[in-house]
Structure 1
Amino acid sequence: MSAARNRQTFHMIHVAGFFFAANMALAAYVSSSFLVPLVGARAIGIVYAAAALAALLLINSMPQAIATLGAQRVTALLVVGSYGSLLTLYGSGTPALSVLAFIIYYALGISVMYCFDVYLEELSVNERTGRIRGFYLTVTNTAWLLSPYLAGVLAAYSINLVYLLAAVAVSPAVLIALPGLSRAPDIRVPARQQGGRAFSVPRALMTLVRGRKSRYKNIYNALVLDLMLNIFYATTVVFIPLYLLALGFGWAQLGLIFTVMLTPFVLFQYGLGRLADRYTGEQEFMVAGILIMAASAFLMWWSVSQNLYVWMGILFLSRIGACFLEVMKESYLFKHLDSGDIAIIALSRNAMPLSYVLAPAAASMLLITLPLPALFLILGAVLLMGLPFALSLTDTR
């Protein structure tokens, strides 16, 4: 791929990533409240688990789909499907159809972001991986920063309007970015071969598990940390809005809280990526991120405050830890991979849907006997279990 084509593809990935992240951010923090009247509070975990299982199935088919159809065609089909599911969520008055549309939307969204990862890895070189991943995360997280306040304002009138705005946010990706990508050379990266057979996602998992104490120790440990980070996200995205609403906060207040909460992702991630590339490596910040996230989870359990600024502070702290772990995990993992490792990239992107199977399903069972804040106490303990995996990594510097 020529330098000019490289730059064009790089820019289009960031344009598409921004607008697609905006649509996902708009929907993320209102979806649990949207589903409660349809299925009941205790069944929320089941719906999220079903959506996550659908995403797992779709993600695991992506390496073969890209090798067969090319990244351009696969990405276009997924984005258009996501747009259609959002319009269904906005317009449907049928509970069953709304739940089905949510499951489809969730699965397609994660798969689209995986396709963007494949494009980005094709353009990356190891000595700049931290900066490239940090800049991409800054772009997408800027969309996450701008979206919650708008979602909160609209949700005060109707949650369905949030899905309409999310569909509007997808439109630039459909109208601008996808045509731009179609003018760049397509990516048809075959899954890395092993023993003459396609290195599929299940085979990638088995290979990593068998080599977790030797050859693949670092990749395996990074993927475990990825899963723990996403369990943190899944638990807080689903249950923090429900908890804050129960404490008496309104949607407009929640939108403001979540906007402040997400600012660390925009403020710190690009700089952290540069720092990891040039000076420190990733390990120290991963350990710090885990400790900060665990501390914030314990504060979520402890606090019953109805003060807006207290919860802004707790959730802001939680995302400082999360942004440390996220950018360093991404930098570390992709320094050990290239675009031929699309099965392992797909495996890494299984962490998000798998976390939405594990966390809501476990929470639904725990909530039978425990109050909701107890989930955050358990979450903090789970996060601390990630420390041995971070400490045993071989740092890149």
Structure 2
Amino acid sequence: MHDEIYNRRKVRLVNLVSFLMGFLDAFLIYILSAYIAPLVGTERLGAFYFVTFSLVLLALFFLQAFVRFLGKSRTLYLFLGITVVASAFLSSLPLSWLSLAILVLLIVAINLTWVSLDILLEGYSQDSVSGRVRGLYLTIMNLGLILAPFLSIKVLEKDTYAGIFFWLLVGYALVFTIAVLSFRNDNRVLLERIRLRTTFRKMLREKNLFHIYVVSFGMDFFYALFLVYMPLYLLGLGYSWNDLGIMFTLMLLPFILLQYPLGVLADRAYGEKELIALSLLITAGSCLALGFSSGQSFLFVTLMLITTRVGIAGIEVLRDSYFYKQIDQSDADVIAFFRTTRSVANMVGAFISIALFLVFPLKSFLFLTAFVLLMSFISALKLEDTQSEKEVLESA
């Protein structure tokens, strides 16, 4: 039995923070490659992301130690504070190797903030409502995501990148204030020291954790390549930043419309396994459709981008719902290790893309992404399905 008590009020506060964080994330990520490309060169973007997410991965291995000594909420405050300070520097510095180093620090802090928020949310939830809690959490986060790409591009049209970082400074300062006021009495400290080797063995030993990790890797590999190369690919086809703002805003609609209903379905009717597998196939098929097309039709490209997000929206909420039904709030080490998929996917994606683009054109990332998603599909089929409320009643 997992040690969990559902706290509706705290879940709502976490959702508020996730909405603001989602908005700020999207404000940055869609212009990130264009910001650093003049300094490092397009051909070395992969190397930049490899180094950055190597540092994220290393930092995640030490997150359990931070939670152990500082507590859950103070760990969240620490990394939010770093995002505020880093954004302040970036809003006043020109693009240089110093600002690039600060940007790396910002990306590391953002990633650790999300995992710290995850650990807090797990303490306020319980297995029977995991799909609904995670579905609502992701839906609200993605409401923030859907508003930001178009706005960030509009800011960029009227201002410089300094304007983007100024609004990030304002936003992260607001999030920091809300977090301090909301979670100051929830600073649970984990006293048990857990070695990385122990966590790694647990992930390998418990097959459901291993296979959902592989599914998560597939999803994060998609994000790793799409967020970096899709804007560059579309700009290379002749689309404008304004076109991209429209495309990227529309493609995020499935996150708003589908994630909470899918979480409810997983809890009440079907479990997660079959829905995860279907979502992986939808995303892989959409990547292949984009890869085989000329990319000249605005309507077709937009439709396929939306379809990729139909699949990814399903994978994201069902992955989280399934994973958090396997653990409880004391498993901070497992949560941190599970969230390494983003770093590992970015590192692997960056490494492979460096070699890939020496031989193949830029659009080859679409075929590579589809291949990895299909490999994740095999792992999804090996998951032991959870029982929905309907299945529990039928077996009683």
TM-score normalised by structure 1 residue count:
0.93
| 1:2 CA displacement | 12
Deviations 1:351-386 (A, max 9, x none): 111111111221111111110011111211121111
Q: 2:361 aligns with which of 345, 352, 371?
A: 371
Instruction: Determine the structure 2 residue equivalent to 1:259.
Output: 249
- Which structure 2 residues correspond to residues 149-298 of structure 1 after superposition, within 5 A? 149-157=150-158, 158-182=160-184, 184-190=185-191, 198-209=193-204, 211=205, 216-298=206-288
Give % identity: 27
Instruction: Determine the structure 2 residue equivalent to 1:74.
Output: 75
Deviations 1:13-43 (A, max 9, x none): 1221111221111101110111100111111
Q: Distance in 2 between matches of 1:190 and 1:135?
A: 31
Which 10-residue stretch deviates more, 42-51 or 6-15? 6-15
CA 159–217 in structure 1, closer or farther in 2 if over 3 Å, else same: same
| 1:88 CA displacement | 2.2
1:55 maps to a residue whose letter is V
2:327 maps to a residue whose letter is L
Which 10-residue stretch deviates more, 291-300 or 89-98? 89-98
| 1:311 CA displacement | 1.7
Instruction: Determine the structure 2 residue equivalent to 1:344.
Output: 334
Instruction: Determine the structure 2 residue equivalent to 1:362.
Output: 352
Deviations 1:131-158 (A, max 9, x none): 0111111111111111111112122343
CA 242–270 in structure 1, closer or farther in 2 if over 3 Å, else same: same
SS in 1 for 2:115: helix
Say whether residues 1:44 and 2:49 are aligned partners.
no
Contact 2:4–2:124 (CA under 8 A) maintained in structure 1 = no
Instruction: Determine the structure 1 residue equivalent to 2:393.
Output: none
Instruction: Determine the structure 1 residue equivalent to 2:293.
Output: 303
| 1:54 CA displacement | 1.3
Task: Tell me how large the CA RMSD over aligned residues is.
Answer: 1.8
Contact 1:16–1:177 (CA under 8 A) maintained in structure 2 = yes
CA 139–200 in structure 1, closer or farther in 2 if over 3 Å, else same: farther
CA 33–94 in structure 1, closer or farther in 2 if over 3 Å, else same: closer
Deviations 1:86-140 (A, max 9, x none): 2222221141112101111111001001111111111111111110111111111
Instruction: Determine the structure 1 residue equivalent to 2:129.
Output: 128
Unaligned runs of 5+ residues in structure 2 are 388-396
Query: How many pairs align?
Result: 384
- Which structure 2 residues correspond to residues 48-67 of structure 1 after superposition, within 5 A? 48-67=49-68
1:53 maps to a residue whose letter is S
Instruction: Determine the structure 2 residue equivalent to 1:195.
Output: none
Contact 2:73–2:120 (CA under 8 A) maintained in structure 1 = no
CA 132–255 in structure 1, closer or farther in 2 if over 3 Å, else same: same
- Which structure 2 residues correspond to residues 76-115 of structure 1 after superposition, within 5 A? 76-115=77-116
TM-score normalised by structure 2 residue count:
0.93
Contact 1:51–1:102 (CA under 8 A) maintained in structure 2 = no
Instruction: Determine the structure 1 residue equivalent to 2:390.
Output: none
| 1:203 CA displacement | 2.4
Q: Distance in 2 between matches of 1:62 and 1:330?
A: 19
Contact 1:231–1:355 (CA under 8 A) maintained in structure 2 = yes
Q: Distance in 2 between matches of 1:156 and 1:200?
A: 48
Contact 1:208–1:220 (CA under 8 A) maintained in structure 2 = yes
| 1:8 CA displacement | 4.0
| 1:7 CA displacement | 4.0
SS in 2 for 1:368: helix
SS in 2 for 1:187: coil
Q: Distance in 2 between matches of 1:178 and 1:241?
A: 36
Q: Distance in 2 between matches of 1:139 and 1:201?
A: 32
Contact 2:221–2:372 (CA under 8 A) maintained in structure 1 = no
Deviations 1:300-342 (A, max 9, x none): 2122233322221011000000011111111001000101111
Contact 1:225–1:329 (CA under 8 A) maintained in structure 2 = yes
| 1:10 CA displacement | 2.2
